[in-house]
Every structure is written in C-alpha cells, then in structure tokens.
Amino acid sequence: MDLTSSYLGFKLKNPLVASSSPLWESVSNLRALEDSGVSAVVLPSIFEEQLHRQGENLDRNLAQGTESFGEALSYFPVLRDYNLGPDGYLELIRKAKSAVSIPVIASLNGTSRGGWIRYAHDAQQAGCDALELNLYSLVTDPERTSLQIEKDYCELVRELKRSLRIPVAVKLSHFFTAPANLARQLDEAGANALVLFNRFYQPDFDIDQLEVMPKLALSHPHELLLRLHWVAIVYGNVKADLAITGGVHSAEDVIKSMMAGAKVAMMTSALLQRGVRHGSLVLADLARWMEEHEYDSIQQMQGSISYRSAPNPAAFERLNYLWTLSSYAATQRELEA
C-alpha cells in the first residue's frame, strides 16, 4: 500500500506532518517524532517582533512614554523568553537537520518586510528544507483596506521567492472576504504551498481585574470542517500544494483532508494531548482504513470530494446552509414526535 504524498517538492513517506509547536525545540522530541512515522516537521515560529527586538528598535519604540505610564511595557509579551530567540533558532535548525532525516521546515511569523528577507536567508543558510511564512495578523486599523492587506502579503511572498532557493509555504487565516481569490493571487506570486488555516488564540477578559488575559485552547476536531470546505474549493484552481492544519486529530481526519484535496494533514494538538507516539497510531489506522476500503494509494483519494469532483458542487455553497437547517429542523420534529 502506497502511503506516500508530495509536498513542497519533497516525496514524503506519508501525508502526516507535525505543525509548528514548542515541542519541537527539543532534539529528542524531533527524533521521537521521526520514529513515530511523521513525514516532516514545522519548527516553532520565530516572530517578527523578536527580530525587531534583537535590533533594539522595538525596545526603543516601546520605551517611549513609559515615564508617564509605568505599566505600558507590561502589555507587550516578553518575547525573549519565547523559544530560543533569533540566533538560537538558527542553531535549532542546524541541530534538527543533524538529528533527523525528514524535511525540516522553518516557520517565520509576521506580516511586514523589515528584517524578513535577511532572516529568511539566514534560515536557508542554517539548512532548513523549506520556509513556512505564517501571516498571523489582526488588522485593527480602520483605514487599511482588504485590497492593501492582500497586496502587501503577495508582495512579501514575491520578495521571498526572488531571494530564496528553498520552497515557501504561506499559512493563512480564514478572515478574508474572498479566500479562493487570495489563494490564486499568492499562487501567482510564487507560493509553493498554501496552509489552511491559522488558528487565532483569542484573549479572554478578567472582569475582576479589568484586564485582557491570554488564553490557549488546543484545537478540536470540529475545527477541521472549515479547512475541509475551503481546501475542497481551492483544489484544482492553484498550482501550489495545499495543506490542512487545525482540527486534525485522527486517521479519519487525515483521510478527509486528502479527499478534500490536501497533500498533507498537519497535526499538533493531538500530539500535545496524547504524546508523540500518537502519530504512529494514526498512521496504522490510516493504513487499515485504506486496506478495508480498497485504496491502493493516497493519491487515489486526493481531491475525490473536492468542489471540482463533487456531483453537486452546490453542496459547498449556500445550498449546504439550507440543507443543514432543514436537517436540524427535521431532527427536532422527530424528537418532538
């Protein structure tokens, strides 16, 4: 049985990839990950703010006005305590490449051009096999239009592609008016893969202290549905590979991701909850399901339930909304009866 898939130009032994996580700062965890059968790994993200801080520009800007507002600096996270910092991150790439044989993908989290091109070059020199650009941004400026934001993203991708030899994946959020159109723009800008979708960590309110508090919630399988929907729509409309991240917890989730049109399914929360060895269980379940359902290869199922392949494409559009409501109403009537 052929479990292989391809992603970013690499032939992978299976479609299960470990997405970015602090777990992968440890070389021993990376080795355990490879032993579990996972086919590639995305390292923890290095943040744009960390690069600014290294150059002391951010420190200088943040310090302005703090004489009057002593708590001002407390609103900004102490990013020097997050992961290894810019220099340590490059060393992690080197150690990871020495420790494992699976592709190692560096993750850069940010949205502006300042410092990114240089640091992307440094990551390439350190030996990473590919780069995942994590466009994590909440645009709060009411003067910025969606057109400006998308133009900036595409220009950043073009600059990276002009500067690098390694492939570039772009990780997006779902907060766009026309995700399918943006996917095509990024594809034309040269992105080698699109990763759908980023998970925003929503802050909570402390109503006693009147503060905004950080809150981390691991993914849940129900989050997969949004990813399946949009990968199935984008599939066949771009040359870039498609990856699903967010809500992948089981072999069934991997299968659905492939049928939607993804080349790989990325997992983190399930590995955090159940341990790195969970990957081997997922792959065993995947092989068992394929045998039972007479699939010879992963390629055979890829895109089989995409928008292009669906006998009724309206199921991906407004008709699905009506079906869902009608189904719920019918269930309620049966319960009342």
pLDDT of residue 208: 82
**Do 163 and 49 share a structural domain?**
yes
Do 62 and 201 sit in the same domain of this protein?
A: yes
Output the pLDDT for position 232: 95
Question: Do 203 and 323 sit in the same domain of this protein?
Answer: no
HEC per residue, the chain: CECCEEECCEEECCCEEECCCHHHHCHHHHHHHHHCCCCEEEEEEEEHHHHHHHCCHHHHHHHCCCCCCCCHHHHCCCHHHCCCHHHHHHHHHHHHHHHCCCCEEEEEECCCCCCHHHHHHHHHHHCCCEEEEECCCCCCCCCCCHHHHHHHHHHHHHHHHHHCCCCEEEEECCCCCCHHHHHHHHHHHCCCEEEECCCCCCCEEECCCCEEECCCCCCCHHHHHHHHHHHHHHCCCCCCEEEEECCCCCHHHHHHHHHHCCCEEEECHHHHHHCCCHHHHHHHHHHHHHHHCCCCEHHHHCCCCCCCCCCCHHHHCHHHHHHHHHHHHHHHHHHHC
CATH number at residue 266: 3.20.20.70
Do 251 and 227 share a domain, yes or no?
yes
Same domain, 227 and 329: no
Per-residue pLDDT tens for 3-58? Answer: 999 999 999 999 999 999 988 999 999 999 999 999 999 999 887 777 766 554 44
pLDDT tens track, the chain, 337 positions: 899 999 999 999 999 999 999 889 999 999 999 999 999 999 998 877 777 665 544 444 444 443 433 343 343 344 445 556 888 999 999 999 999 999 999 999 876 676 678 889 999 999 999 999 998 767 778 888 989 989 999 999 999 999 999 999 999 988 888 999 999 999 999 999 999 998 776 677 878 888 877 766 777 889 999 999 999 999 999 999 999 999 999 999 999 999 999 999 999 999 999 999 999 999 999 999 999 999 999 999 999 999 887 666 666 565 555 555 555 445 555 555 5
Residues 160 and 45 in one domain: yes
- The residue range of the domain holding 246 is 5-306
Judge if 273 and 325 occupy the same domain.
Answer: no
* pLDDT value, residue 75: 39
195 plus 321 within the same structural domain:
no
Q: How many domains does the chain have?
A: 2
Claim to verify: residue 323 and residue 287 sit in the same structural domain: no
pLDDT of residue 59: 44
